[in-house]
Amino acid sequence: MREHSYNEDREEIEELLRQYFNLKSGKYHSLIEEDDFEMIMDYFHETDNLQEALEAATFGLEQYPYSGQLMIHKADLLLVSRKYNEALELLEHAEVYDTKNIDIYILKTDAYLALDQQQKAVDLLEDALSQFEGDEKLELLFELTEVYDDYEDFEKVFDCLKLILELEPNNEEALYKICFWTDFTRRFEEAIFLHLQIINEYPYNEIAWFNLGTAYQGLKLQEKAIDAYLYAIAIEEKFDAAYRNLGDAYLRLRKYEDAIEALEKSVELSRPEEVVHEAIGHCYHKMFDYAKARLHFKKASHLNPDDSKLQYKVALTYMLEKNWLSAIRHLENAMKIHKNIADFNLAMGECMFRLNRFKEAIQFFSNVIRAKPKNVAGWEALIRCLISAYLFEEAAEHCLYAIDKTINKPIFIFYHSACLFLIGKQKEALRYLELGMEKAPKLLKKFVELNPSILQNYKVVDIIARYKRGKKI
């Protein structure tokens, strides 16, 4: 509403103010034009003198009682003053004198929303759409998208944006917005059809190509998405978001070198983003280039120091290089932020285990199973560690706990058998071995890894041989 700026012509506004104050005080004054009253109202509003602005509106309407424009202007000030019902009443009067003024509908919408009457706002705008064409119709449609958003009718937000683009295919604001709402509403097929129509008419619209790519990605059609992003980049070579999404599509196809190239171009064109460096790090990790992966995870971590997951990912790269002490340092950083994450405790336990610091390892593995009692990896790690620390009876006891908590996972039947052999309970150990072979013979390898010398026991070898031949004892 506030179209004038008193800074544009200070001398003019000062003269208008002099005339206005003469009018208020009853002194002689020259005629103040209708538009001039609007300038005076804007001046007071922009100088945070809302009460004086309202008084100027009242004086203006006394001079021009049939001015729909002054009524609309005053209604805008009433809305700012939170006098919503007064504003609505005044707008009803304004509509009598200025039926085709779009501002009436927009201000009424604002009032209804402020009064938490979203349905009235929707009905008003939907009725108004038939009365306007061109830019004004588009403005009402954008207003309607905001109302539907506030009303949480998100499907209709998409519908409005779709209608805008059918009316004006090159509307950038609608193109940018529909990209988000396509993903939010999961209406990918409709978006694909819409954007193909736009591209058919306007083949050099890079935003339409980009949106087409995101819609294809929503349907996991990564190769089609890549083609769309490449077209967008061919049209606008500095389209950083297209490079980023292109990198994501390549990543999902496990084309890591292509993904890195696209993502690094995105970094070159835009400000550094944590998620992009993390994605580049992921690609290098998958390519077994742990040093470069670590570099990008660290860059991501510098951009978001509160993300404990990034410190954890740095630690994993060190673990894969068997650099346990460096891994521990970064895991400690991660656990300063989030202490009780099971994966962090599992990794820390593994580092301690590899350094033969069994007591500390046992503590971390215990943290894992306390946090996630059904976590198979946590129980496995704890039992392995107890065996390595020669705590065979405790290991056997924890095998039984693991069988109970994980609802009879066969791996712990084998582990319990191995522990029983280690503490000399051969008869019971053989019974558990037989049970394990019956349930999951493919897990025998893990049983042997715990105690390779067990294959020197002829009774063990006999059970294994019988099951391998498909016979039970």
**For residue 5, pLDDT beyond 70:** no
**For residue 472, pLDDT beyond 60:** no
14 — pLDDT class (breaks 50, 70, 90): confident
Q: Is 153 helix (H, G, I), strand (E, B) or coil?
A: coil
Long-range contacts of 398-407 (CB under 8 A, 24+ apart): 405/369, 405/373, 405/374, 405/379, 406/374, 406/376, 406/379, 407/374
**For residue 257, pLDDT beyond 90:** yes
- Residue located via tokens 């998100």: 154
6 — pLDDT class (breaks 50, 70, 90): very low
The pLDDT mean for the chain works out to: 91
Token reading at 236: 């606008």
CB 295 within 8 A of CB 278: no
**For residue 10, pLDDT beyond 80:** no
Given this model, what pLDDT does residue 35 score? 82
- 1-15, 42-56, 427-441: least confidently modelled range: 1-15
Q: What is the pLDDT of residues 185-204, one digit of tens each?
A: 999 999 999 999 999 999 99
- 25-29, 183-187, 221-225, 466-470: least confidently modelled range: 25-29
Q: What is the pLDDT of residues 377-391, one digit of tens each?
A: 999 999 999 999 999
CB 353 within 8 A of CB 335: no
End-to-end Cα spacing for the chain = 91
CB 196 within 8 A of CB 209: no
Quick one: angle between helices 376-388 and 410-422, nearest 10? 10
Where in the chain are the domains? 401-473
Average pLDDT estimate for 441-448: 92
Cα pseudo-dihedral 361, 364, 367, 369, rounded to 10: -50
Average pLDDT estimate for 419-433: 95
**For residue 233, pLDDT beyond 90:** yes
Token reading at 448: 């042997």
The torsion angles phi and psi of 7, rounded to 5 degrees, stand at -75, -15
70 — pLDDT class (breaks 50, 70, 90): confident
Which tops the pLDDT comparison, 268 or 126? 268
Calpha distance 414→432 (Å, rounded): 7
Given this model, what pLDDT does residue 389 score? 96
91 — pLDDT class (breaks 50, 70, 90): confident
Calpha distance 91→95 (Å, rounded): 6
DSSP-derived secondary structure letter, 454: G
Q: Who's near 135: CB < 8 A, 6+ residues apart?
A: none
Given this model, what pLDDT does residue 1 score? 47
Average pLDDT estimate for 162-172: 95
Return the CA Rg of the chain: 36
Average pLDDT estimate for 55-60: 82
Percent of the chain at pLDDT > 90 equals: 64
